[in-house]
Every structure is written in structure tokens, then in C-alpha cells.
Amino acid sequence: MLNPSVDPDSSIASARAAGRRPGTGPYLQEVSGTGSPHTPVWFMRQAGRSLPEYRELRVGTTMIEACFDPDMTCEITLQPVRRHGVDAAILFSDIVIPLAAAGVDIDIVPGTGPVVARPIRSEADVDALPELTPDRVEKIQEAVRLIVAELDPATALIGFAGAPFTLASYLVEGGPSRNHEHTKSLMFSRPDLWNTLLAKLSDITTVFLRAQVEAGVDAVQLFDSWAGALSLRDYRSLVLPHSTAVFADEIVASVPRTHFGVGTGELLGAMGEAGVDVVGADWRVPLDEAARRVPGKVLQGNLDPALLFADRRSLDGEVRRILDEGARAREQGAPGHVFNLGHGVLPATDPGAVTHVVDLVHELTGK
């Protein structure tokens, strides 16, 4: 449910509403717990490498350049809405864009992912981490305003950011990691320094999300992509407080908030305690089981992205299964279900399969 502590007459809410579209579409209805005409559907990474129009547009540009080009960001964000008819657009960006905006020397290397020129390993490194100021994300805000101006009011715009733990993992490891050995070493050897680092990253993430909300996004999602590497005990003590701080910000809390991680089945309950309206589950946990682990939250998910490569009969069967699990989750008290994947669209996915799933979900759940 929307945060009842936010006064709709407050200066913050009024400032946000001044340039906003009426939020009445299926996605916003579902995540606010009021119910929608059909199960809303959108896909993580719905904009990007699976679309030929995206690949054509991106020729000659780096990922970071594209994310700071408002016109290009707008066009890429809208491409899957036009092609697939999804119920929500998600701002085209990357988890590490707030770090790049702050001034961290980071690159997104094709085929590898984010690579940090100088990993954070010491107290001096943490002290040197720059702050993110609002003026550094004006291009992001411009992109959001362009998208809002073109997007049908019935289609929600979701903003997003990487969670403090996932950002810390990239910064400490220097790039993607299987075992997160440097990250965990810092967490346990210097918990004081770890908490200082995550507090700074929480501030960076909050500034990034606030900017998107102020520019007009209808909802936000926080990705904690690597949190599944942690035990529940360690997540609760060393990560959850910092994610909670992001969601508790008054401006961020003025829109519906979703929390998602990969391989986080054992953490779902704790993630739901971070102050969110929606919890995303990957394909490893059935939605009716997720409803038991995360009581009282709208659920998002959770088709395995690899199943978009299956034949249509098999794919249709899996879509029906997930919708059935979503219906059982509602019977168990979940306020709603947003159909999505259990992670992002894979690069080699046939766009036609994505469109087919959208059409099928709408057909099967339309009232």
C-alpha cells in the first residue's frame, strides 16, 4: 500500500504532483492494493539488447553515454512499450549510473559489466568516495520529463537504482564477482568501515531516486542483485538497515516502492520489512510460497527468463502456472500480483515471445 505517512497536501507531495500525469493505470492500481482490470505485466530489462531497434540506436555509443543522453534514454525506455504493450515502462539506466554521476571512475565493459578503476579496500578509499549532488543528475531528470510527456497516462513509469549492498559489491570487488570474497572480508573484518561505506552509498542511492521521483516517475524499484550471496543473519545486520534508509526517505516513500534481488528466497521476509509495497521473487520460489514468506505485500514475478526460449505450448503452460500461483497468493493475503520475469530479459530472447506473454497475461486475466 502507499505510505500513509505522506501527507498529500505537503509541499513535497504538491511539488511532485505539479507536473504529474494522473496515475490510474493497471500497474499503479495493482501495487496500491486496489486491484486492476487485469494482471499488469512488465519485464526487467525489457528495454535493451533483445530489441533490434535498440541495437540500431546504440551503434557508436557506450552504455554510460546512452544513460546520460536524455533523448536516447527516452527513446530506449519507450521502445518496449510500443512493441510489447506492457503496463509499465522502466527508466533505461544501469545500477552503477549513480556512481558514475557522483564521479567514481567506473566503466560498463561489454560482455563483462561494471568495472571500477580503483576498488575500495581501505578507510582512505571509503573517505574518498564522492557524494552525489542533485546537479549531477539533471540529465536523468530531463530524460524522465521527456518520457512522462510522451507516455500514455495508463502506462506507469518506474524509476530504479541499485541497492547499497550491490553497489558496494561492485566497488569493493572492482567488478562482477562469483564469491564476493573482498566484500565479505570487509563486512566482517571492519564492520564499522562497512557501515560507513553503506551509509554513503545509501545517500547516493537516495539522491538518485529522489531526482527521478521529483522529475515524474510513478514508482521506484531497488535492485539488490547480489544480496542472494548473503545469509539471512548477515543481511539483517549489515545490509537491511541501509536499504531501509533509502525507502524511508520522504520523497522516495511518496510513490510505490518495489524491492528485488536474485537468489533471495531466504531473504524475502526481511526484504519485505525494508518499508516497501512490492517484493519481487525470482523463479526459484513459487508465488504462493512467497506470499507466506512476505505477508501483506504485493508480489512481482516470476517467470524464468530462459523459458522465453521454449516452444509456445510450454511457455503458455508456465505463464498459466504463475498466474495460478499469483491467484493463490492473493487468496493467502497478498494484495496483488504484477507479472514479471524472475530476472531480466536475456539478450538473445525473441522479442515476439515477450509480446506473446504480455498478450497472454492480459487475455487470461482480463475482466
pLDDT confidence of residue 16: 44
Per the residue annotation, which of 21, 49, 145, 292 is the catalytic one? 49
Catalytic residue, chosen from 27, 54, 170, 235, is 170
Q: What is the pLDDT of residues 140-192, one digit of tens each?
A: 999 999 999 999 999 999 999 999 999 999 999 999 998 999 999 999 999 99
45 belongs to the catalytic site: yes
Q: Is 58 assigned a catalytic role?
A: yes
**Active-site residue, from 21, 58, 121, 236:** 58
Predicted local confidence at residue 110, as pLDDT: 87
Indicate the pTM of the whole model.
0.93
CB-based burial of residue 125 (10 Å sphere; 0-12 exposed, 13-18 middle, 19+ buried)?
A: middle
Candidate list 16, 27, 83, 94, residue with the active-site label: 94
16, 45, 257, 293: the catalytic one is 45
- Could you tell me if 192 and 199 are in contact, meaning their C-beta atoms sit under 8 angstroms apart? no
**Any catalytic annotation for residue 210?**
no
Distance CA 271, CA 273 (A): 5
Given a cut of 50, the residues of the chain with pLDDT beneath it are 1-20
Q: What is the DSSP string of 50-95?
A: T-HHHHHHTTT--HHHHHT-HHHHHHHHHHHHHHH--SEEE----T
Averaged confidence pLDDT in the chain: 93
pLDDT score at 18: 40
CB atoms within 10 A of CB 119: 15
The torsion defined by the Cα of 94, 95, 96 and 97, in degrees rounded to 10, comes to: 50
Which residue do the cell numbers 571509503 mark?
A: 126
Single-letter amino acid, residue 21: R
Cis peptide before 195 (omega within 30 of 0): no
- pLDDT score recorded for residue 5: 36
